[in-house]
Structure 1
Amino acid sequence: MRFVSWNVNGLRAVAKKGFDDIFAAFDADIFALQETKLQEGQIELDLPHHRDYWSYAEKKGYSGTAVFSKREPLQVVHGLGIAELDTEGRIVACEFPEFWFVDVYTPNAQNGLARIDHRMAWDDAFRDFCKGLEAGVVPDGAAASSPKPVVMCGDFNVAHNEIDLKNPSSNRGNAGFSDEERGKFTELLDAGFTDTFRSLYPDREGIYSWWSYRFNARANNAGWRIDYFLVSDSVADKIEAASIHNEVFGSDHCPVSLEISF
């Protein structure tokens, strides 16, 4: 199966930059988006082979996630089940017979780590949520599930290690490369999940998924790898390919993909 994830940083804008053609070229079984920045009814897409599932932020023009799937899920969950963390449309989780697919847009800690406490609470709750799905535990209001592996993807808003960004020394302690955020990502991996790209390319440098719009960052490849596919360790041996598609433009992020057999 082929999965694709892309932070589009505003789907309505990317729709004017060839989104339909990019989507078709990937021909993904599941295509996940983050930062859609819209509300229900604000866009029409012609994707006849995929069903669509959306989570919207209460705040207009902010955050938001979406999943497009060729197969109909058994059920779809739109939040962690924690009211104070579920107002920004940051989760779409789809259950299939073989696995859970979780699309996430992790909160940014913001300049000066102004939102770090919220971010830490999110990271803990998200880790518990994914481990719960893996064990067959779902939020209140969802249908019962059985234990099964988890495939998660999205913009995790953290470069895990120095190899994952161009300028680690000057960014140490900043949002996205703070000890706190990096530590929580380590905790997520240690809980039983595999970073699919790093599992295949442990030493590959200079491969990033996000570039600032400032200072010609993309032209200079001064980027960060903050978009990931993670899978339960139990299915890590089924990974066939993990790629970062930095040839695709339209957003300040590029798509990432995973091919895995179930």
Structure 2
Amino acid sequence: MKFISWNVNGLRAAVKHGFKTTFETLDADIVGIQETKLQAGQIDLDLPGYHQYWNYAERKGYSGTAVFTKREPLAVTYGIGVPEHDTEGRVITLEYPNYYFITCYTPNSGGELKRLAYRQTWETAFLAYINGLDANKPVIFCGDLNVAHENIDLKNWRTNHQSAGFTDEERAKFNTLLDSGYTDTFRHFYPDQTEIYSWWSYRGQARANNSGWRIDYFITSNRLVDRLMNARILTDITGSDHCPVELDIRL
């Protein structure tokens, strides 16, 4: 199966920049989308052969996630069941007979790290949520997790230390996640790969100079490792400040 994750940074804008053509070319079984920036009824997206599931933020033009899937799930859950974390449309979970698929848009710690404390609370709650699922069946989750894990996951790591997405606190939470029984699928296949990123600022010709960050992931329960086939970062695909990431897996 082929899974895709993509932060589109506004789905209506992405549609104007060729989203549907890219979507059809990718021909994925399941696509997780982050940062749709939509409310219900603001887009009519015709994707033949796909079931569509949407989670909208209460705040207009902000956050939001979607999943488009060829395979109808057994059940769909919106959010993580914690009211303080479920107003921004950040999580959708699809249950299938032998796994869960989750799209996630992790909160950004923001300028001057104003949301770092909230981000830490979120991380604890989200890990508890996926651990609860993982106790039942394996988990595959994807999304813009808003953290570059290691120094090789961003171009200018020295000057960005303690910037949002590369604080010691955020990286420690990511370590805790992996230590809890999960695999960063890209690093599973390419543990030492450098200079491959999934997000580039719109400022300063960052993408042209490949001055980016790897903050978009596919994470799986460790017991799925022997089913992993490949994980890729599709850097040639434009239309957002993020590029899609891909997971190929036998299920």
The TM-score bracket by the shorter chain reads: over 0.9
The equivalent of 1:185 in structure 2 is: 174
Of 157, 180, 188, the residue aligned with 1:168 is: 157
> How many residues end up aligned between the 2 structures?
251
The equivalent of 1:9 in structure 2 is: 9
| Whole-angstrom CA distance in 2 between matches of 1:10 and 1:216 | 20
The equivalent of 2:217 in structure 1 is: 228
| Whole-angstrom CA distance in 2 between matches of 1:238 and 1:57 | 34
Q: Does 1:207 align with 2:207?
A: no
Moved over 4 A (4+): none
1:225-245 superposed Cα distances (whole Å, 9 cap, x missing partner)? 000000000001111010000
| Whole-angstrom CA distance in 1 between matches of 2:57 and 2:205 | 31
| Whole-angstrom CA distance in 1 between matches of 2:157 and 2:225 | 28
| Whole-angstrom CA distance in 2 between matches of 1:163 and 1:122 | 25
The equivalent of 1:18 in structure 2 is: 18
| Whole-angstrom CA distance in 2 between matches of 1:164 and 1:127 | 22
Give the residue type in structure 1 aligned to 2:52: D
> How far off is 1:55 after superposition?
0.3
The equivalent of 1:142 in structure 2 is: none
The equivalent of 2:232 in structure 1 is: 243
| Whole-angstrom CA distance in 1 between matches of 2:106 and 2:186 | 19
Query: In structure 2, the residue corresponding to 1:169 is in which secondary structure?
Result: coil
Give the residue type in structure 1 aligned to 2:189: L
TM-score, length-scaled by structure 2: 0.99
Give the residue type in structure 1 aligned to 2:243: C
TM-score, length-scaled by structure 1: 0.95
1:125-157 superposed Cα distances (whole Å, 9 cap, x missing partner)? 11110010111xxxxxxxxxxx11000000000
> How far off is 1:94 after superposition?
0.4
Give the residue type in structure 2 aligned to 1:73: P
Residue correspondence of structure 1 range 1-262 to structure 2 within 5 A: 1-135=1-135, 147-262=136-251
CA-based RMSD of the aligned residues comes to: 0.5
Unaligned runs of 5+ in 2: none
Give the residue type in structure 2 aligned to 1:190: D
| Whole-angstrom CA distance in 2 between matches of 1:169 and 1:38 | 36
> How far off is 1:111 after superposition?
1.3
| Whole-angstrom CA distance in 1 between matches of 2:9 and 2:188 | 27
Query: In structure 1, the residue corresponding to 2:159 is in which secondary structure?
Result: helix
Report sequence identity in percent: 58
Give the residue type in structure 2 aligned to 1:192: G
Query: In structure 1, the residue corresponding to 2:171 is in which secondary structure?
Result: helix
> How far off is 1:45 after superposition?
1.2
Give the residue type in structure 2 aligned to 1:169: R
Give the residue type in structure 1 aligned to 2:236: E
| Whole-angstrom CA distance in 2 between matches of 1:191 and 1:63 | 27
1:36-77 superposed Cα distances (whole Å, 9 cap, x missing partner)? 000111111120110000000000000000000101111011
Unaligned runs of 5+ in 1: 136-146
